[in-house]
Amino acid sequence: MSCCCGHGLQIRAIGQKIDVKKEIWKDPFIEKINSYLTVNIGGYWADKNKGKCVCKENNFYWSNKLTCDERKKVLEVCAKLWGEDKKKDKASELMAIMHLETGEKNMFKPYADNGADYSGLIQFSDVSAKKLGTTRAELKKMTFIKQMDYVHDYFASKKEISNMVDLYLYVLKPNAVGNGNNPDYVLFDESISVPDGDGSQTSAKQRGINIGIEPWVTKYGYSSNPSFMKGEEHTQRKKWVYTRQRFEDRWGFINGKTTVADVILELKEKHYDPGAKELFKGICENAEEGSVDISDRAPWMEVAVNEAKIYGGKKQNLIQDRVTMYHKEGASYLGKKDAWCSSFACWCLENSNPDYPSPHSPGSRSFINNKTVEKCEVFYGAIATFSDCNKNGIVESSGHVTFVYGKINGTDNYAVLGGNQNNMIKVSSYDCSGNVFHSHYSAKKKRDVYKKFMGFFKPKGYQIKTTEKLTASDVYSNPDEANKSIGLSSIKTVKGEKDD
């Protein structure tokens, strides 16, 4: 893990003065995430309830690049090293360091090798591997999970490290640990002298030893870590290479330096901050399909989800008897009305435990002004209402009503579970921003139908529980992913799904 063999590190030498505050940042994004994420490390990362996966609740930076078992292992190691209260923060920091060390080509691969005698997730050297009772060759053969045990052992002697920069310095240059809060501290300095000069009178074997100890580490670390260089430092020059005893093209300034400030900028901007965009948001491979957990959340959603599990994904003509029952029991409607979203929503509310009064109407807009419901903020199970309109937003008498099941990542759309969505029970994506959006082409009306969000509602007097607030586990990349969580993996959502 010595720095001076081009060990994949990215050091920025200082050709110009950089003003860096002498303090370590505290990222508000990860603080927000960690405020509600909980982890149970005890050999299993899933909830005791069969099939429930909590990967998204146990998120950390870059977790989207790992499998469920790998995510679990990272948190397990961090919990052992730094304690339960710090494990998620440290997991994000450790992932940033491993991202830097393994590089883009072999990101988080245990066999990552920089071609200069450093390998693995934190670029173990031959010396560090030997101290851990193994070899670099053996480390490269290991799985990510197995090699993480050696990552744990490497850091085990330095559990008191308090910040990410010092954590990284323990990989880059261990004797510099403790200077992570000192941006002016010089890590590498090409201008210093070493006892054997250019090494021409030193044997190859001895040079191989020297390059891993001081003062050679400090002298040659600058040119061996070009990733920390910025701007004009990315200009090649002929540089005498101590170990090979020849001139080679190397980046950097003559007699350049690398400081902690350079490490801070590179580590944060290129390896820590980008990890915030790589939080796990998918469906965990260890979770059983269709095993969504709905306990202690809006009671009517248990009814809606169970209906989806049994009747979801089937066109109306295949479940007509059930649709007729929704109309009759949920809205006292005895006809063959095509639009059945409101009857379905009313039936779910009235048949939950406990049951809740509903507008008891086949008309979706009945939810907008009815004494049985009231406006509210979004939550899991919120009743989302929409009015049909023209493209200028002039509302019509028809519309749609459905239940909030989750959020579509990176959009104003919500994953909503309801009846008569593309003529079936399923999760769809609806824009809840309040802007007019194109809904579908209506063959019945022989024109395009537009919609406008009219608000979220809940049964009158219902108290929204903390567990019903949407969290990371309620975020889906698309409605098909949400459908899969219920067990409707065969559904393929298309644009322009009709609901009339």
Q: What are the DSSP calls for 171-226, one per residue? A: HH-GGGTT-TT-TT-EEEETTS--TTTTSTTS-HHHHHHHTTSTTHHHHHHHHH-B
Say yes or no: 263 and 303 in one domain: no
Q: Which two tokens stand for residue 301?
A: 């959603």
Least confident of 168-177, 288-297, 328-337, 465-474: 288-297
Residue 440 is assigned to a structural domain of this protein: yes
Question: In this predicted model, what pLDDT tens digit does every residue of 458-467 receive, in sequence order?
Answer: 999 999 999 9
Say yes or no: 269 and 304 in one domain: no
Say yes or no: 382 and 452 in one domain: yes
Residue 92 is assigned to a structural domain of this protein: yes
Say yes or no: 266 and 359 in one domain: no
Say yes or no: 400 and 270 in one domain: no
**Which residues fall within 8 angstroms of residue 129, CB to CB, at 6 or more apart?**
135, 136, 138, 139, 150
Q: Is residue 385 classed as helix, strand or coil in its secondary structure? A: strand
Least confident of 97-111, 219-233, 482-496: 482-496
- Specify the pLDDT at position 294: 61
Residue 12 is assigned to a structural domain of this protein: no
Rounded Cα distance, 447 and 441, in Å:
6
H-assigned helices in 103-157: 126-131, 136-141, 144-155
Say yes or no: 267 and 305 in one domain: no
Q: Which two tokens stand for residue 328?
A: 């009759």
Residue 498 is assigned to a structural domain of this protein: no
Residue 8 is assigned to a structural domain of this protein: no
Residue 285 is assigned to a structural domain of this protein: no
Q: Which two tokens stand for residue 347?
A: 């039936």
Section 35-49 average pLDDT? 38
Q: Is residue 447 classed as helix, strand or coil in its secondary structure? A: strand
Q: Is residue 303 classed as helix, strand or coil in its secondary structure? A: helix
Structurally, how many domains does the chain consist of? Answer: 2
Which residue range(s) make up the domain with 392?
A: 299-486
Q: What's the half-sphere exposure (Cβ side, CA atoms, 13 Å) at 288? A: 10
The domain boundary residue, chosen from 249, 278, 307: 278
Say yes or no: 61 and 152 in one domain: yes
Question: In this predicted model, what pLDDT tens digit does every residue of 194-241 receive, in sequence order?
Answer: 999 999 999 999 998 888 888 988 998 888 888 888 888 888 889 888
Question: In this predicted model, what pLDDT tens digit does every residue of 234-287 receive, in sequence order?
Answer: 888 898 888 889 998 888 899 999 999 999 999 999 999 999 988 887 666 665
Rounded Cα distance, 111 and 275, in Å:
21
Residue 468 is assigned to a structural domain of this protein: yes
Rounded Cα distance, 338 and 417, in Å:
18
Say yes or no: 303 and 270 in one domain: no
Say yes or no: 252 and 306 in one domain: no
Output the average pLDDT for the chain.
Answer: 84
Residue 287 is assigned to a structural domain of this protein: no
Say yes or no: 470 and 412 in one domain: yes
Q: What is the CA radius of gyration of the chain?
A: 30
In total, the chain counts a number of residues equal to 500
Does an H or E element contain 430, and which?
A: strand 426-431
